[in-house]
Homo-oligomer: A and B are copies of this chain.
Amino acid sequence: MIRLGISGYGNLGRGVEAAVMHNPDFQLKVILTRRDPASIKPLTKGVKVDKTENAKAYKDEIDVLILCGGSATDLPVQTPAYAADFNVVDSFDTHANIPAHFDAVDKAAKESGKLALISCGWDPGMFSIARVYGDSVLPGGATYTFWGKGVSQGHSDAIRRVKGVVDARQYTVPVQAALDAVRSGSNPDLSTRQKHTRECYVVVEEGADKARIEKEIKEMPNYFADYDTTVNFISQEELDSKHKGIPHGGFVIRSGKTGANDEYDNVVEYSLKLDSNPAFTSSVLVAYARAVAKMSKEGRTGCVTVLDVPPAYLSAKSGAELRKSML
């Protein structure tokens, strides 16, 4: 049994708890929270709930701690700190800051003799793996990543900050013509606008100036200005009934040529279609917690990513069983 801890009990932490139920080789021992532990009602029988500051007390009780905080402010501090006492897995997803985060976590985990796996989930995560495999088996080609159709929390939040907006949900949608062009193997150059559109569902205050709100959204730099954006004004009831889920997914497509004269086209595609973004991310985190438990037992220390983990380490099945049934 792998003894697991969860730090942070939001969407992701609850998702990890649910994912443990699908993985009978795990036992959830403790949930650490910044809230009042008495306010947390875990789904798992017998699991302890404690304050984050008491984490050290569980040092010898858990094999891996999954960190379910946010990438903006939580994980840059928490992951190196927890790596002093625990093997940890996090889902740090600010791509540009991954090298710095890796270095900080690596230093902490090497000093403590623990193992830390960062930036786990689906992007970064399973999509990163697809990009590296594609780049390696088809050198000299091109890799394309498309996201969606799915909810972008960051873009939804950005809309909510527009004056007069009560609530909003934003979907990132890959452009079918771009997907088709990439799949044809023609290695097209695609602008930001050509790859994705943005669909917004917006609830506004009574009497709000919809034309002004629509214009502000569509012209918002970084978030919407570079995209073809559609804004749909709907009621709070419609938002709650039709847009309450957090589905996501996407595509990593690698095209490249083989043959002595580049005479053969090849297209490799990896795609995800997820009803719940955090539930799937959590499921990936648990599989990598298994890998971290195995690698730590073998003496591996410091920081690693999904790119450093052999596929077999994610599985509860033995090497012999995998070779017999899945190779």
A312-327 with Cβ < 8 A to chain B: 312, 314-317, 319-320, 322-324, 326-327
Tell me which residues across on chain B come within 8 A of A305, comparing CB atoms: 323, 327
Tell me which residues across on chain B come within 8 A of A324, comparing CB atoms: 98-99
Contact pattern, A 256-293, Cβ under 8 Å of B = 1, otherwise 0? 00111001111111111111100110111001001000
- Tell me which of A18-26, A28-36, A196-204, A217-225 binds B: A18-26
The answer to whether B307 touches A18 (Cβ under 8 A) is: no
A138 at interface (Cβ–Cβ under 8 A)?
yes
A271 to B279, CA, bound (A): 24
Q: Nearest residue in B to A324 (C-beta to C-beta)?
A: B99
The answer to whether B136 touches A315 (Cβ under 8 A) is: yes
Supposing A18-B260, A269-B270 touch, asked if A99 and B140 sit within 8 A by C-beta, the answer is: no
Tell me which residues across on chain B come within 8 A of A229, comparing CB atoms: none
- Tell me which of A80-88, A123-131, A207-215 binds B: A123-131
A306 at interface (Cβ–Cβ under 8 A)?
yes
A15 at interface (Cβ–Cβ under 8 A)?
yes
Q: Nearest residue in B to A279 (C-beta to C-beta)?
A: B258
The answer to whether A264 touches B279 (Cβ under 8 A) is: yes
Which interface residue of A14, A23, A275, A319 has the most chain B CB atoms within 10 A? A275
A96-151 with Cβ < 8 A to chain B: 98-99, 102, 119, 124, 126, 128-133, 135-140
The answer to whether B326 touches A137 (Cβ under 8 A) is: no
Tell me which residues across on chain B come within 8 A of A189, comparing CB atoms: none
The answer to whether A23 touches B259 (Cβ under 8 A) is: no
Tell me which residues across on chain B come within 8 A of A185, comparing CB atoms: 273
Supposing A264-B275, A283-B137 touch, asked if A259 and B327 sit within 8 A by C-beta, the answer is: no
A299 at interface (Cβ–Cβ under 8 A)?
no
The answer to whether A132 touches B18 (Cβ under 8 A) is: no
The answer to whether A309 touches B308 (Cβ under 8 A) is: no
Tell me which residues across on chain B come within 8 A of A135, comparing CB atoms: 315, 317, 326
A177 at interface (Cβ–Cβ under 8 A)?
no
A174 to chain B, nearest CB (A): 15
Residues of A within 8 A of B (CB): 14-15, 17-19, 21-23, 43, 95, 98-99, 102, 119, 124, 126, 128-133, 135-140, 183, 185, 258-260, 263-276, 279-280, 282-284, 287, 290, 305-312, 314-317, 319-320, 322-324, 326-327
